[in-house]
Amino acid sequence: MTLASLLKDVRIFLLDIEGTTTPVDFVYQVLFPFARDHLGGFLQDSWGTEETREFVDLLKTDYKEDLGQHQDLPNWQEDPLDRHRESGENYATWLMAQDRKSTGLKALQGKIWERGYQLGELRGEVYPDVLSAFERWAGGGKDICIFSSGSILAQQLLFSNTRYGDLKPFIKRYFGTTTGSRMEAESYRKISAELDAPPSAIAFVSDVVTELDAVKLSGMSTVLCLRPGLTLPENLGHPHIETFDEISFAN
């Protein structure tokens, strides 16, 4: 069966970012180091704002769950307030080293990246086939949504500041860490309900097989995206592509 026939009932493409629309190196060699290097300065500059305090409170909630479970967990001191800020910084740095998908951390990273984009120090990166695919899918009446471990703000910033221009007008909805884990079928059922579309009308495109396995349980279609550097796993169970140019659909 061809990919086009497998996707014939699909009217919504739900996309991962890292390794799917965007090179992994951009995330790990540009975005993450930028957030780490600017974390302390951002917290100090914005410490008087309610928003930043809320981010740190979210971090403290995660910290309490980590207590007693990790020997290298940094200490958290709440008094005086500057020690509370420094503790939030130390814990956020620790979370980044663990590559944790903490909602508080992702929200904080998003605000740091926002400043970087505004100052022209960052520019979003997508693969060359993304713009043409978005134009083709949108022109064919398909909706495009994003489901990433980054905050919704971070997703919007990436797509609105690319070398190909602002891609945000193509994207109908964004889903982030508050939706749930991408490794759990329930997250995809939740997305299906929020989009008011049956799972059979949605195809999730990702470079991570374990995510696609969870998606399959939800009833959505799946497509493995094999960007440069990835090899095709054995006993895959999912159709695969190497470029978005391969995704077409029956009219």
For residues 22 and 26, what is the distance between their CA atoms, to the nearest angstrom? 7
- pLDDT tens by residue, 124-145: 999 999 999 999 999 999 999 9
Which pLDDT tens digit goes with each residue over 70-124?
A: 989 999 988 787 888 999 999 999 999 999 989 899 999 999 999 999 999 999 9
Least-confidence region, from 37-41, 123-127, 144-148, 177-181: 177-181
State yes or no: pLDDT of 232 exceeds 80.
no
pLDDT of residue 250: 52
State yes or no: pLDDT of 233 exceeds 80: no
- pLDDT for 90: 96
Across the strands, what pairs with 14? 145, 204
pLDDT in the model for residue 66: 93
pTM > 0.85: yes or no: yes
Q: Give the span between the Cα atoms of 133 and 137, in whole angstroms.
A: 6
**Whole-number Cα distances in Å, 198 to 11, 12, 221:** 10, 10, 11
**Mean pLDDT on 29-33:** 97
Any residues with CB less than 8 A from the CB of 47 and at least 6 apart, and which? 53, 81, 85
Under DSSP, is residue 206 helix (H, G, I), strand (E, B) or coil?
strand
Instruction: Give dist(CA 209, CA 222) in Å, integer.
Output: 10
- The residue type of 116 is G
User: Which domains, ranges and CATH numbers included, belong to the chain?
Assistant: 3-22+125-246 (3.40.50.1000), 27-118 (1.10.720.60)
Q: Which residues, 6+ apart, have CB-to-CB distance to 41 below 8 Å? A: none
Least confident of 35-39, 124-128, 169-173, 245-249: 245-249
